[in-house]
Amino acid sequence: MCRASSTESSGSAAEPRAKRIAQAIASVDLTELKQLARTGGGLQTMRNRRRAWPLLLNFRSLTEPEPSDEEKPGESAHPDEPQVALDIVRTSLPKSTEYRKDEAATKKRQEQLGNVVCAVLRKYPWLGYYQGFHELALTFLCVFGSERPAAEASKMVALFFVRDAMSSNLDNVLVQLQLLYVLLRTVSPDVHALLAELDVPPFFAISWVLTWFAHDIDGFEDICRIYDFLIVSPPLQIVYMAAALVKRNEHAILACDRDFAIVHTTLAQLPQTVGDGEWRHIIADSYCLERDYPATKLQHMGNSHLPKLSAVNSFEATWRRLDPAQPRAFVGLVPILNGCHPLVSESASAASGSSGGGSNGRAVVNRMARVIDLTSTAQKARDLALQHRWPILFATVASATMVMYAWLLVQQFQMHP
């Protein structure tokens, strides 16, 4: 069972922590930066985040996608841009930031937000916009203060964290929400039983998942603290945070009248009830949940499986291969067939496999699936070795699996030089 503390380790008060953050940024110590982002008060200040988030999000590790023959960079509008414009008009800037000074400043920031979102969509036109992505982008814009870094952060989150939501539908997001109930069945069985009794679907948490709580929390510092944590975590971590939030409020939930509307409303409003300093405890709890019930195990527990090329299942096999010193194309990490979303490519590959066609595309998708499977196996072996403190076994298994992993990657590079 995971044991994590949301407080600082001994001898690390506020001032030493600030010094540790500065030193980690200066030395590009990503291990230390990730630990600081996960624990306590996170990265503490906007200045620290402007310096640390680009490192943690692997800025400039992707080469720009090549435009098609019919397109010139920046000129082809994305079909979802009209919806983006409608959502941005309705978007208010976070409270407690200097960006809400006057109406002119608000309009300027909204215009910049539109540019950020559209920049991501135009670079990767196979991504589909969903209502709420602009709130993710707004957080990055308010932290960085300018369009270019905000667009880069939004791009990395879109490609590696919330990609499942940017397909042609939200089917795989609904699977993630079902995994929330799988977690609750284990960690808060009484709440799960209540929700099952009243037939309450997990839709109360959909804005939590799609916006990383930005839609549901007023305090901008709290939002930034959550983002500190989520950008150094796997894509499904937001679901573990949702479970931790429900778990910490289970007494209030169980005290509700046995009424569908009352229970659903109570759940939907939980983020607004979190007091000052409490998010760090929810973050610590969710970190333990993810360690105890990693994504692969959770999917097996609930018999609710996401596709191999989902952001959740492909994260370990792709994120660890990013290196700003050696930028690569995203298509070299995840197959993009015929300009389609990876989840569409995977479905099309499966369909062509059953009909006997599309052998080349199917080979690419299957090769990526093998890399994902092997990475998952290596991760399981590593976790098991660490859990039982078997250093010799860990070294042996890690060495063997990494050799196999390297061989598979070489095979994939032959498909995507």
Q: What confidence score (pLDDT) does residue 103 get?
A: 75
CA 55 vs. chain centroid, Å, equals 16
Q: What phi-psi label fits residue 293: left (phi over 0), alpha (psi between -120 and 50 degrees) or beta?
A: beta
pLDDT digits (tens, 9 = 90+) for 283-332: 999 999 999 999 999 999 999 999 999 999 999 989 988 988 899 999 88
Q: What phi-psi label fits residue 11: left (phi over 0), alpha (psi between -120 and 50 degrees) or beta?
A: left
Q: What confidence score (pLDDT) does residue 288 get?
A: 96
CA–CA dist 68, 73 (Å, integer): 9
To the nearest whole percent, how much of the chain has pLDDT over 90? 62
CA–CA dist 42, 173 (Å, integer): 27
CB count, 10 Å around CB of 270?
20
Interior CA angle at 316 toward 21 and 68, to 5°? 100
Sign of torsion over alpha carbons 231, 159, 333, 408: positive
**pLDDT class of 415 with cuts at 50, 70, 90:** very low
Is the distance from CB of 364 to CB of 353 less than 8 angstroms? Answer: no
Which runs of consecutive H residues, i.e. helices, occur in 145-236?
147-160, 171-187, 189-198, 206-211, 220-230
Q: Which residues contact 388 (CB under 8 A, 6 or more apart)?
A: none
pLDDT digits (tens, 9 = 90+) for 221-248: 999 999 999 999 999 999 999 999 999 9
Q: What confidence score (pLDDT) does residue 10 get?
A: 42
Which runs of consecutive H residues, i.e. helices, occur in 231-325?
237-248, 250-254, 260-268, 279-292, 295-302, 311-319
What does pTM read for this prediction?
Answer: 0.84
Q: At what angle do helices 171-187 and 189-198 cross, to 10 degrees?
A: 130
